Amino acid sequence: MREFTVTSTLDTSGKCCPMPIVETGKAMKAMATGEILEIIATDKGTQKDIPSWCERTGQTLLSMTEENGVFHYHVRKDR
Amino acid sequence: MKSMAIVIREDAYDKLLTPLVFAYLASAEQTQVDMLFVNWAVKALTVEGAANLRMDGRHAADEPRVREAVAKAGLPNDVYEILKALKATGCVNMYACSLAGAIFGVDEGNLIPEAEGIVGASWFLNEKAAKADHCQYF
C-alpha cells in the first residue's frame, strides 16, 4: 500500500528519449513543492534516466516499479 | 551541469537529431545550452533550410521510416518544430556562425526568429564554449 498520494499522472507510454524526461521536467514545473508526480513509461531508458534526473534536479524518487514492460515512477517535487 | 555548449556542423536530418535531442534533455534539468551552427548546418536556422534537410548517402532511402519513428517517439519530425520547442524551453540559445552564413547564404533576412543572431565563431568559442561546463561537437 502506498504511503503517499499522487497529485498528477504523466503517461509517456510509447514515447522514447528525450520525451519522458522533457515531459517530466515540464510537468514538475507546473507542480508545487511536496506534490507527487506519477510517471508511466515504456522506454527502458527511463530506468536510468528518471533516477538520474531526480538526483540532479533535487527531486525525490519515491518508488520505481515495472510490470510487463511498463514502468511506474513516483517523484516528489522537493525544489 | 549548469551550462553546455554545442557546435553543429552536420546538416543531414538524421545527424542533426542527436545534438537537438541532447539540448532538449539538458533543458529539462534547466541547463543553459548555447548552440553554434557552422558550415552547412547553418542552413537549418532558416525556414527553407530546415524544411529541406535530408538524410544522405547510404541512409537516404531510410528517411521516411526514420521520420515516422521520430514522430512515434514523441518528437516533432520536422526540424524547425524541434527548434521552436527548444526555444520555448527558455534554456536554449541558437546562434548562426557568421562565416557559415556568408558562405552558405544565411543572413538576418532569412534567419529564423528563434535564433539569437549571427555571431563570430571566436566570440562563441571564448564566451560560450570555453566557459561552459561541457562542450560537444557534432
The three cell numbers locating residue B31? 541547463
pTM of the complete model:
0.93
pLDDT in tens, A3-43: 899 999 999 999 999 999 999 999 999 999 999 999 999 99
- CATH number assigned to the domain comprising residue A38: 3.30.110.40
* Domain architecture of chain B: domains with CATH: 3-137 (3.40.1260.10)
pLDDT in tens, B52-65: 999 999 999 999 99
Residue A3 forms part of a structural domain: no
Kindly give the interhelix angle for B79-88 and B13-27, rounded to the nearest 10 degrees: 20
A16 found inside a domain: yes
Give the per-residue pLDDT at B117. 97
Domain enclosing residue A27, as ranges? 8-76
Is A21–B21 a contact, with Cβ atoms under 8 angstroms apart? no
User: Would you state the cell numbers that stand for residue A56, as one nine-digit string?
Assistant: 540532479
Give the total number of structural domains in chain A: 1
ipTM of the complex: 0.86
| A17 vs B contacts (CB less than 8 Å) | 21, 25, 73
The distance of Cα B56 from the centroid of its chain, to the nearest Å, equals: 17
Is residue A2, in this structure, part of any structural domain at all? no
pLDDT of residue A1: 65
pLDDT surpassing 90 at residue A2: no
- CB proximity under 8 Å: A 23-62 to B: 23-26, 53, 56-57
Cell numbers of A42, please? Answer: 515504456
Distance, CA of B138 to CA of B121 (rounded, Å): 15
Q: Is the dihedral of CA B124, B127, B128, B131 positive or negative?
A: positive
Grid coordinates given for B93 = 540559445
> Which residue ranges in chain B fall short of pLDDT 50?
none
What residue in B sits closest to A17 (Cα-Cα)? Answer: B73
State the alpha helices, DSSP H only, in chain B: 13-27, 47-51, 63-73, 79-88, 98-104, 121-123
Helix H or strand E encompassing B3:
strand B3-8
Indicate which residues of A carry an active-site annotation.
17
Q: Is A76's pLDDT higher than 80?
A: yes
